[in-house]
Structure 1
């Protein structure tokens, strides 16, 4: 397996509106390449034909086209056939709003998306093809694999996506469908699979210090932009082969409108991996990396210690996360923890950055006891054991 560290990968949600950065971050969303036809579509082409694609393909009949090293394809408004089973996700957070995409796995409103699309949200609104809107709740998530499962309240008889089981081949045509630029419109971006089994280190588009290694990814040339996160990457049969998750861009990381700041390479989580993780969540089975239901919280807001102190580690070189504020009535409110203090360990696990803190918290549930260690502003080490409360954000 080839491992590459990608510099400048940011969230595939719309960055200008995105709230608290996810533990895993990305760049302009990946591109989905065109699919030939959808069964029962009365001749509607799933992949763009050669006259509109402009990328050297010989049409939608499976004839040979561009090589895996060719330039990326085009982005257009998605057709009705291409939109089937794809949803637009809009979130409200404590800091603003965000936008991404998802796909319907079950007709009862079970939706698969990236966790970074909904992480930190207080409200989730989902729009299905046809315009009907639903509120959604997070059934569970796996932050280390950037997967989340949502349930749309009151939904039934929704069209679903079809999942591929044949595997992915380099040079095959693909089509990414997603809410490009967070504009409330589904776009389709065509391209090729340029590599498989890729590994990247994805970091947040904000200044936070967390990062995550994602492995076994599909690499594509499709020109995806912000807002495609969580959306499907289709093959030429109209079946989902992956979830658009990350991209490396040669342009500005803040230009996320459709057709602007196109990614040099996009990355998608293989659908076989994502579906397995989703099935585990839906079964209610807890693992070392997933979290089922409501998250636990300490009732504090934190930032990386280095960023809060001009890039310098606090108190003689110790690492940790700096407390911005302590919520009144929260688990930590009676412990003496105050703004400016630095949390250095949770349950004996060293906390070096916000990613460490998120990882430890994901393994706990409301009602659990947790030992918290911190350094106060005088440099003294303090500890307290608290009962975790329910988080108010996803």
Structure 2
């Protein structure tokens, strides 16, 4: 009996050991399986880092070092006289008084002292003072101005300066890292970083001036106007010029004039003293889904041609009303600011390749750009064009230019658009070249005397001060 009991206990113990061993073996195998299952998503996370999610932040140090010494502080100085007596008040005497009207930044673009800045920074200046990053100060000469593009070209007498050559803004990509470099309020320099948010932004086409800005989220405030926008290689790809803010301070996005446009303006100001504008010779409208439905066209992107100017390059190249421009020199045209921004980098006489669709079929042609036959009298806000013989005959005029558009809200567009200007400052005008010559000869202090002709017997002269 005792022997049987012993055998029973041995069997029970053996069974328990077997169960325990099997349980431990099962736990080990389960752990191995679990570990293998956890490893799988780790591989996926590692592979996702190859797409850039785990990439290191870009190094801005080199670009900043190469750029800050080429960005200067620009001071707009006005000089007047403070009357000390009643005689000074009437006869113009008194103590000379200098006042700072505005400040901003500028970019040295050549070793011999050419500097580009915003026109609004130095507008109305009697003197312009430049302070380099090493605190040396110079008097600057205004070489040329392009108010419509918010560009002014300055020059200081110095050699072997650190400068930034223009880069190619056509190669800028949305999402690309950029630096905004300024020299505001004599703080020596400021550097902020961001990315390119958009290209070909048009902020104010209501006045007939189509713009094409690079939009970034790099912080730019008023003192940074005229400073440099550079990429991580230190290439100058834009001139910081504007922010959109109800408070006047940076709120998340800023705008820069593309370097290709700024370069063209600078070259024209140096060579011709003014900006020569090239045009295709077309008018039209941006396409979107709603416009495409109204026009019964299949494309929801591009520039729809609504009219062709007579004797223009577009007419000679065979473009017609209803064509939809998709590319110019392989640059994608989604809206008119894409088109105008690119054409603004070209000169009259140059040829561009235009890809377009007509009745849904792709076509291509070469267009020779012509000079814009318009001139804007910015002081009073009038745009004029050459008058045809028939138009002169209608007004019974021997000479004159036609008011094409009123740009100033102070003037009555209904009364002025379409009538003639026959004389400016007592000089007869036969063409927009005459208007440009007379305006260029006028000093800033001189009044503008203009004779308008609205009909055969209605001719009036006004003086604008």
For the aligned pair, the TM-score class normalised by the smaller chain equals 0.5 to 0.7
2:212 corresponds to 1:216? yes
Contact 1:347 1:371 in 2 (8 A): no
User: Which structure is higher in RCO with an 8 Å CA cutoff and minimum separation 6?
Assistant: 1
In structure 2, what is the Cα distance between the partners aligned to 1:150 and 1:161? 15
Give the deviation of 1:57 after TM superposition.
8.2
CA-to-partner distance for each residue in 1:336-393, whole Å, 9 max, x for gaps?
xxxxxxxx996579xxxxxxxxxx789722269975259xxxxx9952699xxxx9xx
2:200 corresponds to 1:197? yes
Give the deviation of 1:283 after TM superposition.
1.3
Contact 2:133 2:188 in 1 (8 A): no
Contact 2:116 2:153 in 1 (8 A): yes
Contact 1:142 1:289 in 2 (8 A): no
Contact 2:218 2:253 in 1 (8 A): yes
1:141 to 1:319, Cα distance in 2 relative to 1, 3 A? same
1:384 to 1:184, Cα distance in 2 relative to 1, 3 A? same
1:363 to 1:113, Cα distance in 2 relative to 1, 3 A? farther
Give the deviation of 1:84 after TM superposition.
2.5
In structure 2, what is the Cα distance between the partners aligned to 1:193 and 1:79? 17
Structure 1 length-normalised TM:
0.53
| Structure number, greater radius of gyration | 2
- Name the structure 2 match of 1:364: 439
In structure 2, what is the Cα distance between the partners aligned to 1:345 and 1:88? 44
1:145 to 1:362, Cα distance in 2 relative to 1, 3 A? farther
- Name the structure 1 match of 2:167: 164
Q: What do you get for the CA RMSD once the two structures are aligned?
A: 4.3
1:252 to 1:286, Cα distance in 2 relative to 1, 3 A? closer
1:264 to 1:346, Cα distance in 2 relative to 1, 3 A? farther
CA-to-partner distance for each residue in 1:69-109, whole Å, 9 max, x for gaps?
xxxxxxx9x96544131111011136742101111111111
Contact 2:104 2:223 in 1 (8 A): yes
Give the deviation of 1:123 after TM superposition.
0.7
Give the deviation of 1:202 after TM superposition.
8.4
2:237 corresponds to 1:237? no
- Name the structure 2 match of 1:104: 108
- Name the structure 1 match of 2:297: none
Give the deviation of 1:186 after TM superposition.
1.6
Give the deviation of 1:280 after TM superposition.
1.2
Contact 1:202 1:246 in 2 (8 A): no
Give the deviation of 1:183 after TM superposition.
4.3
Consecutive unaligned residues of structure 1, counting only runs of 5 or more, are 1-55, 63-75, 204-210, 254-260, 291-297, 304-311, 321-343, 350-359, 375-379
Aligned residue among 125, 131, 134 for 1:127: 131
- Name the structure 2 match of 1:272: 260
2:153 corresponds to 1:149? yes
CA-to-partner distance for each residue in 1:239-279, whole Å, 9 max, x for gaps?
11100011112x522xxxxxxx3232111110011001101
Consecutive unaligned residues of structure 2, counting only runs of 5 or more, are 1-53, 80-98, 279-376, 382-408, 425-434, 453-457
SS in 2 for 1:116: helix
SS in 2 for 1:275: helix
Q: State which drifts further: 89-98 or 214-223.
A: 89-98
Contact 1:141 1:281 in 2 (8 A): yes
Give the deviation of 1:185 after TM superposition.
3.0
- Name the structure 2 match of 1:113: 117
In structure 2, what is the Cα distance between the partners aligned to 1:266 and 1:202? 18
2:63 corresponds to 1:60? no
2:75 corresponds to 1:90? yes
In structure 2, what is the Cα distance between the partners aligned to 1:201 and 1:139? 26
Structure 2 length-normalised TM:
0.45
In structure 1, what is the Cα distance between the partners aligned to 2:214 and 2:171? 11
Give the deviation of 1:212 after TM superposition.
7.0
Contact 1:82 1:188 in 2 (8 A): no
Give the deviation of 1:118 after TM superposition.
1.2
Contact 1:345 1:372 in 2 (8 A): no
